[in-house]
Structure formats: structure tokens, C-alpha cells
Amino acid sequence: MSLLNTLVRLVREQAPVAVQADALQRLCLEREGVERALYVGWQPRSHSYEALAGVSRLPPGSGDPLQANDQALMERLRGLTVLPLAELMGVSCWLGGRLRRAGWSEGLALVLPLGAGGHGLLLVECHNRDADIWLGWVGELLGEVFALAHRAKRTAPLLSADPEPALMLNEAGVLDDCNHALRQLLAEFPAAQASDLLPSNHAQLVRTCLEQARSVREVTGEREGRQFLWSFIPDPSERQVLVRGREITAQLREQREAARASRLYRQIIENTTDLISRRTLDGLLLDVSPASWTLLGYWPEELRGKELAPMLHQQDRQRVAERTRDALIQDGYATLTYRLRHRDGHYLWFETASRAIRETYTGSVMEVVSVSRDITARVEAEENLRRVAEVVEANTDLVLFVDPAGRVTYLNPSARCALGLGEEALPESLAGVLDDGLLASLQRDGWDIARRDGVWSADGRLRAGEGRRPLPVSLVLLAHRGVGGERYYSLVARDMTEHELRENQQRRHQDELAHTARLVTLGELASGIAHEMNQPLAAVMNYASASLRYLQSLDTQPDAAQRVERGLQQIVEHTSRASEVIRRLRAFLRKGQRRMQALDLNELVRTSQGLCAWEAASGKVAIVEALTENLPPIYADRVLLEQVLLNLLRNAIEANRERHAGEPSRILIGSRLEDDGQLCVWVEDEGPGASGDALQQMFTPFFTSKPDGLGLGLSMSRGIVEGFGGTLDARAADTGGLCLECRLPAGGKG
């Protein structure tokens, strides 16, 4: 029944004849016993019948196709509504031959016109002999139905051709007719009627349209979350309203998403730290984001309509203009780095990515959208890094980059030259760069200290190239940390060859000066030395004279031989004493390289006292010892350290004589072991002391408080002590005089 309703509707709506024919054929094939059905329409130009729809096509007939026609069959059917197929194929016509070739035999040909003024035949093949009765009756019924359908009033001539859902409502708002698109839409809503998709006040809208004779456009209707937009178009003459609609669910969703995206886009533009701008291809600013105030000191309103070029740095204008225009026209995008002037007058570095917006049809650039980022800090950092790299490359110090595994990854030219390596060569490891002692110190302490404190330093030697002597260096290990937390290191080594030469030369000069000072000291101690020599020499002379007299009286005095023997023994003792004095003087005046050896500090103190004992005695100055026994040894040059102690003692003697002229006084000399492992020897006098300024300048060369002094004794003494790794300082003593303290590292501590 549904196929019949569809066929009637198609006829009434004057659907294309091929569509009507297809529905008619499907309606016949639903009937049991019908094997084939074919609708053929009359073709006036060829005077023949041709199939209009379906898959049952007919083969060509026999004979010349140009002479083929069905005019005889047309005459035979005049006034008939039904013709058996056997009689049709008996007529001399083109269609009959084609049916015979297609194997048609029994059935009926029903005369049924489809379309206005049309003429056609419905061919039905059925081998059931009873079929002729009901087929004839069906043919008459279909003829009456088609006639009624053709005569029926067509409410909407364009209703069936409308691709959008459409329907006709009468003045009461009741459905009169609808098109296929609406039926398909209703199929998506089970148990729904057409009025359920319309606005809830559709009846009122229909009356308004008819009463006011005007259309009502775009009224929203909703069903199960889906939105529809309906337009009501009145037909006052027929008292009907055409309602056309379209679904806007996706459109509304897209509009909401677009609005949300627009808000998000605006929020991003207003809050981003980058400068977003629109401009013409010639550089005229159309719009800029609010970041222009933060970056350039201009509000967006101040920049709109202004040229970009005057804000560019003079050196960048031509380059930016040429490269940007060409790149945007050819490629559609461009990325450039340049400088822009801030409102305050200074320039900032910007990196800008631009994209061209083209006209749809012509492809010409309509405007340019750019995103600019302030990279001043990055450019300055890169410039600083470049300068640092140039400094490292040009540095005369040796610079090596080392990874956490200890592999050398970079050498500057100075390091390559010192190590005898080519431009691309790298040492396999630090073992090929550092000597054994420096490498062991680095492995033992260097890495840990550098990781903890950031820096470690040591002195040692580098392994130079073949045929070269090891290079003395002062080495610094620096620990760095990358952005990701990874560690890396750099070694900076300073060539100390010239420093060593200067130190050796300075040491030689110091030794020469010390030797000269000893000669001066010896001259000043000449009286005491002569007295010390006179005593043993006078004793030798006395014992020699007595021995001669006893030898002459051997015959008369029985004990004369024993007295001669005792005299000779005394001569030997006093001669040894004089010899020891001479030996000490020769050792004191020794000139040559320093001889570092383990020394007993107390022994040196006593030896130094012996050299100035006569000078102290002549000034009534008593030297009191406060020595700590069993001290560890010190490593130094005996002669130089004796000279320091002698200088301290003689300065104390002179200070006491200045304050206590002709009166007895004393000097205290002592030794002790400090808590830090150093040995301290001090000399404390009872002299006039020194002021605060004098204490600070006491060790300055050529500073002296003596009228005839040179001011080199204490300065030279401090230099000697510091050469042994110690210190020499002065402080006020409790006696009102001066206390000079000399500290030296104990054996194994220096």
C-alpha cells in the first residue's frame, strides 16, 4: 500500500516520468506471479516505444534501426486500455520484435499515461492464466487513480523539488502536504509528527502570515536537542502557508565554538607578552595588541595608522623592508630579527614571525599578521657569550673544557701550542696532559672540592709535546652546571715559567743581599769576634810559654813532664775553640744555593746567641731562654735562618741599650709548638717599643727608627721566613718593649 501511495504522490506532484515509471514497476513486481514488468513511453521523434526506467531493458529489434517505428502498434492501441502480449507481438512493429527477442511470451500490455499529455504502456509478464483477469482490473484501477491524481489540486508546485524540509499548512495550522526531505527527517524521530518539529506557536504564526500577508522568517524550533530554523511563506489565495526549514544544530554549535574561540583568542592577545600586530604589506600598522605598552611604551591606539619604518633602527630599515616584502610575496611568511625604538629612545631587539593573508581569488597580499618577541636579553647574552669565546680563544692562559668523565672536549689555541697539538687533535685523557703528581692531586681532592665549592686550585706541571720540558703551571679547576643540571668543568692553567725564573732571580738577589747583610753584621760584630778569638789565643800563648819553661826544668822538677802534658791539652782545647769560632764565621758567611735540611730550632737559637753574646754582655743585656724541648724539626736553610734569629736578637739588644743605657736589662727568647702545628720562636725585649704606625711599617723596606740604619734587616728577614712557608710579625710586649714572633711549619707540614 505504501508503494501505491508513493506512486500517487509522485503523479500528483508531477515528478519526473522516469521516477513515476520506476515506482510503477516496483509496485507490479510486488504482486505474486509477476515475473517481469516494464514501462515503455512513446517517443514522438522516433515514433517508437522506449523503456524509461528499471533494469529490464529490451534488446534492439531485427532489421534497419533507421526504418524502425511503432506507428502500427500506436494505431492498434487507439481506444484500448488492455492488450494481451501475444496480440501485441503479432502486430508488425519494432516493439513486438524486441519483446520476442527478449523472451517475452504471456502477459498484458496496459495503456497508462504518465506525465502530462504522455502516452505509455505497462508491460507485465505473468504465466498464470488467471492473472489476465486481475491484471485488467488493476489496469483500470490504476488508470482511474492516475486520472484523479492528475486532476487533484497541486498545493505546492516546488514542494517536491525543495531539498530542504518543507510542508504545507492550511489556515488552521493542520498539515496538508510535505516533501520527501521532511519525511526523511521525521524518520529520524520515531513516533514524531511534523508539527513536533515546528515552533510551539506555529498555528499563531500561520494565522499571522495569512492575516498580514507577509512572511515570518527564521523562527526556531527544537526537538530532542536539535535546533531547526523555519520560515513561514503565505499563499493568501489558497489560504495556505508554505513552511520551509533547515537544521541549524551544527551551525549553532560552530557559532558557540567560534565565539568561545574568539573570546579565548582575544584573551590570549590581551594577556600575551608577545606583540601581535596587523599591518599592510607596505608597513602601515592596522592594529596591535596591548603588549605594545609593556614592550614599547605605546598604547595600541597610538600605533594604529602609523608607519613601522620610522621605529626601526636606521641600520635595519633597508634590510627589513627588502627581505620582508619579497619573502611574504613569494613564500607567504618571513622571520626576521631587528631593532625597534622604545618610546624612551633606546632600542630593543625583536624577533618577528610574519604571515601574509591573501585575497581568495587573486592571491594578492591583503595584510600581514606578525608575532614579535623581545629578545634583547637573549641577544645581549649571545653577544656576551661571543665576547667570552673571543677572550677564551685569545687568552694566553691554557683553557681546557672537560666533561664529567674526564675527557677533554676543547682546547684554546694557547693550550694547543703549549701541548704541541694540532687544530683538530685532542688528548685522549687528562693523563696525557697533567704530570703524575698533579693528576693524583686532582683525582684525590680536585673533583670533590670543585663540585662542593665550585673551584679548586693547585700548582704543578703539564706534559708538553715531544722534545719539550714539562711546563710549570698554576692550575684552576672550575665546576659548572648546565640548564638541565648536568655538570661540566673547565681547567685554566697559567704558564709559570717566567714566574719561576723571576722567583729564582729574586731568590738569588735575596741571597746576595743576605750575604751582604751578613758581611755587614760580621763587621759590626768584629769587636766581639776579636774578643772571642783573643781569649783562646791568649790562653794558647800562656800555656805554650809555661810548657817551654817546664821543658827546660825537666831535670830539676820531676812533675815537669806532667805539667807540659796538661799545658798541651789546654792548647788543643783552646785551639779547637778558636777553630770552631772560625768555622761558624765561615758557615755564616757562606755564599751559594740554599740547602734545605731538617733543623733543630733550639740548636739554631743557641748558635745565634753565641754570635751576639759578647755584644749583649758589653751592653749589660742578659739573654734568657724559654725554650720548649723535644720540638719537631723544621725544614729550612741553616745559614739564612741563623741570620734571621741573629737579626732579631741584635735588634732586641739595641732596643734595650737605647732604653737602659749602661743599666742591666734582659731579653727573652723562647720557642713553642702552636695548636695549628707550626713552630714559633719569639724574641721579647725591654726597649722603648713602637707606635701603631711603626708596627704597620716595620717590615717595609728602608723604614727604620735608627739614625744610621738602612731599614732592610726586618724586611729581609720576613722575606726569608716567608720563603720557608712561615710568617714574621711584631706586636707590643707586656714589658713595654717589642715582641717579634717567627712562625715556621713543622717538618712534613710545609
Residue 692 belongs to some domain of the structure = yes
Q: Residue 301: inside a domain, yes or no? A: yes
Which whole-number Å values give the CA distances from 412 to 90, 647, 747, in the listed order? 113, 50, 41
Q: Which domain holds residue 55?
A: 2-151
In-domain check, residue 259: no
Residues 500 and 563 in one domain: yes
pTM for this entry: 0.42
pLDDT band at 342 (very low <50, low <70, confident <90, very high): very high
Residue 376 confidence (pLDDT): 92
CATH number at residue 214: 3.30.450
Cell of 99: 519483446
Question: Is the pLDDT confidence value at 569 over 50?
Answer: yes
Give the CATH number of the domain where residue 24 resides: 3.30.450.40
Specify if 262 maps to a domain: no
Q: What is the pLDDT of residue 515?
A: 56
- Residues 474 and 578 placed together within one structural domain of the fold: no
User: 409 and 370, same structural domain?
Assistant: no
Q: Is the CB of residue 614 less than 8 Å from the CB of residue 648?
A: no
* Higher-scoring residue by pLDDT: 394, 749: 394
What's 416's domain CATH number?
A: 3.30.450.20
Planar angle of CA 723, 727, 730, nearest 5 degrees: 135
Over 90: is that where the pLDDT of 463 sits? no
**CA-angle at 693, arms to 689 and 696, nearest 5°:** 90
pLDDT exceeds cutoff 90 at 340: yes
Choose the weakest-confidence range: 23-27, 235-239, 572-576, 652-656: 572-576
The verdict on 101 and 237 lying in the same domain is no
- Provide the strand spans (E) within 451-527: 455-462, 471-481, 487-495
Q: How confident is the model at residue 205 (pLDDT cuts 50, 70, 90)?
A: very high
Give 79-118 pLDDT, tens digit per residue. 888 888 888 888 888 888 888 888 888 888 888 887 656 7
Tell me: the pLDDT tens digits for 57-78? 788 877 777 777 888 888 888 8
Q: Same domain for 603 and 687?
A: yes
276 and 354 both lie in a single domain = yes
- Domain check: are 427 and 489 in the same one? yes
Minimum mean pLDDT range among 11-20, 28-37, 514-523, 722-731: 514-523
Split into its structural domains, the chain has a count of 6
Three-state SS for 56?
A: coil
Q: What is the mean pLDDT of the chain?
A: 80
Under DSSP, is residue 409 helix (H, G, I), strand (E, B) or coil? strand
Cell numbers describing residue 453: 665549592
Instruction: Find the range with the poorest average confidence among 11-15, 119-123, 277-281, 385-389.
Output: 11-15
The answer on pLDDT for 716 being more than 90 is no
pLDDT grade for 155, boundaries at 50, 70 and 90:
very low
- Which residues have a Cβ under 8 Å from the Cβ of 95 and sit 6 or more positions away? 40, 48, 49, 58, 61, 70, 73, 88
Phi/psi at 76 (5° precision): -65, -35
Do residues 124 and 108 make contact, with C-beta atoms less than 8 angstroms apart?
A: yes
- Range of weakest confidence among 63-72, 704-713, 721-730: 704-713
Residue 749 above 50 pLDDT? no
Q: Does residue 191 sit in the same domain as residue 109?
A: no
Q: What digits encode the pLDDT tens for the residues 354-376?
A: 999 998 888 888 899 999 999 99
Q: Is residue 613 part of a domain?
A: yes
